[in-house]
Amino acid sequence: MKLVLVLACLIAFHAVAGQESCSKSSDCEDGECCLEDFYQDTAKCEKKSESRKFCSEESAQSADDRYLFYCPCKDGLSCIVTEN
């Protein structure tokens, strides 16, 4: 059980450590956006959302060209608001 917990922590650390910090979306690679971390007051490059995933509308970016919560969709896809 301890081994599973250690492995999970290492995988999570590796996933976070691999992300590039950014100050605006143009700092990121193609297919990524600059996503703010609301809790840590930082921003990291994240992959744009794929089909049937949560997303932000392109117009939802802040004045400093960053997104909060979710990136917009990948090119060719649309972010559609649905009610549950």
Q: What domain count does the chain have?
A: 1
Between 19 and 22, name the one with better pLDDT.
Answer: 22
| CA-to-CA separations, 61 to 8, 11, 36, in angstroms, rounded | 32, 29, 10
Between 19 and 27, name the one with better pLDDT.
Answer: 27
Q: What letter does residue 20 receive in the DSSP assignment?
A: P
Q: Is 33 domain-assigned? A: yes
Q: Is 9 domain-assigned? A: no
Q: Is 12 domain-assigned? A: no
**Mean of pLDDT over the chain:** 78
Give pLDDT tens digits for 31-52: 999 998 877 778 999 999 998 8
**Residue 20: CA atoms inside 13 Å, Cβ hemisphere, count?**
14
The parent domain of residue 46 ranges over: 20-83
Its pTM stands at: 0.66
Q: Is 2 domain-assigned? A: no
pLDDT value at 6 more than 50: no
Q: What is the pLDDT of residue 30?
A: 93
Distance CA 22, CA 65 (A): 10
Q: Is 32 domain-assigned? A: yes
Q: Is 14 domain-assigned? A: no
Give pLDDT tens digits for 61-71: 777 789 988 89
